[in-house]
Amino acid sequence: MSSDEIEATSTRSTDFSTLGVHRESRMETKRRRQQGEEGSRRGSVASDGAIALEALDCTVCYHPLRPPVFQCAVGHVICSSCHDKLLNKNKCHACAITGGYNRCIAFDHILESVRVPCSNSFYGCTAKTCYHERDDHAKSCPHAPCFCPEDWCGFAGTNTALLRHLTAEHRLTATEFAFGHRFTLEVREGMQVLHKKKGSPLFLVKFMPVPPFGKAASVLCVDPHAVVGECKFRCQVDFHCRTMGWRQNSDFQIRSTTLSSGLPTEDGSYSFVMPNVSSNLPTDSSVIMCVTKITDDDGAWSDW
C-alpha cells in the first residue's frame, strides 16, 4: 500500500499566501491553533475517509504506535513498550484471550505508509511525516509560531515574521547582536527587540521605572519551542555611571516563552535594576549586554 493510497490530511485548510502570518484576536489565534492540533491528533483521516488516526494509537498508553507492533489472536494491538511491561504476556490485555502476542508486520508497514500534516500547517509548514514521528518534527518545526506580546494584537507567525511585525507595526527598536559578544543598548522606557542576523531567536528587553529604586529591566527569549521552566540562554548586564562613580553588573538566566498567553505578569522579580541618575548630571543612559547560550559545562563569566 503506497503513501498516496493512505494519506492523512488535516481538517484545517492552509493559506500559504500568508507565509505563516495571521492577524486576529489572541484568543481566536489560540483557538484556531488548538483546533488544528487536535484535528491532526484525533480527527485527521485519510483523504478518502479510510483511516482515523486514533486507530493508530496504542490501546494501552494511547500514544502513537510505532514499529514493532504486537497483536493478539483477535487483533488487539499494543506498542512494544507496553508489551514489555505486561506481567502476563500470554493473555490479551483487552479481550483476555490466551495465546500471547505476535509481531504484526502488516501493521508496521501501514504505520510507515501513513503521512500526517504538521500541526503548524496553518502557519505554512508543508511537511508530512509518519504519524509516530509527528511530535518529533513539531519540536523543531521552523514554522512553529510565536505571538505578539501586545494583548490587543492577535499576530502569530515565525520568529522572522514576528521581528518584521514588531518593527513595522509596533515601531519597536531592533538591535542585532551575536552570541558571546558585548553590545550597547540604550536605556529607554518601553520594549526593544534583540535579534541575530537570521532573525531567530528573538529577545525582548523591557525598561520600566520602579520608584523609588530606579529603572528595572526584564529580558525574555521568544522561542516557538519554549518549554515551561527551561532556560537556554544567559545574559550579563553592565551599568556604569562615571559621573556618580557607580558601577554594577549582573548575570542571570533568561526565561523562554512563545508569548501565547502574552507577556508574563510583572511580579517584581526583575532581571536587573539600575539606580536613578539625577537629570542634572550628564551621563550616558545605556547598558552593555552580552547574551550567551547555556551549555552543560557552563562555567564562570569572564571579568568585564
Over residues 225-258, the pLDDT tens digits come to 888 778 899 999 998 776 767 788 888 999 898 8
Q: What are phi and psi of 162, to 5 degrees?
A: -65, -40
pLDDT(182) > 60: yes
What is the pLDDT, as a whole number, of residue 281?
47
Beta strand spans in the chain (E): 8-9, 45-46, 69-71, 77-79, 102-103, 115-117, 128-130, 146-147, 156-157, 173-176, 183-186, 190-195, 202-210, 214-222, 233-241, 246-257, 272-275, 286-293
pLDDT band of 270, cuts 50, 70, 90: confident
What is the pLDDT, as a whole number, of residue 193?
94
What is the pLDDT, as a whole number, of residue 28?
60
Half-sphere exposure of 135 (CA within 13 A, CB side): 7
- Please give the model's pTM, rounded to 2 decimal places: 0.67
Which grid coordinates are listed for 112?
510507515
The residue count for the chain: 304
Separation of alpha carbons 233 and 220, rounded Å:
10
Half-sphere exposure of 301 (CA within 13 A, CB side): 21
- pLDDT by residue (tens digit) across 21-62? 444 555 565 555 555 554 444 444 444 445 778 888 998 999
Separation of alpha carbons 22 and 157, rounded Å:
7
Which grid coordinates are listed for 203?
529577545
What is the pLDDT, as a whole number, of residue 298?
52
Nearest 5°: CA angle at 185, between 242 and 162?
Answer: 165
pLDDT(283) > 60: no
Half-sphere exposure of 174 (CA within 13 A, CB side): 20
pLDDT(109) > 70: yes
Mean pLDDT, range 58-69, rounded to an integer: 92
Half-sphere exposure of 286 (CA within 13 A, CB side): 8
How are beta strands 214-222 and 246-257 bridged, if at all?
parallel
Question: Is the separation of the CB atoms in 30 and 260 below 8 Å?
Answer: yes
Which grid coordinates are listed for 272?
536587573
What is the pLDDT, as a whole number, of residue 16?
31
Question: Is the separation of the CB atoms in 221 and 210 below 8 Å?
Answer: no
Residue 231 per-residue DSSP state: -
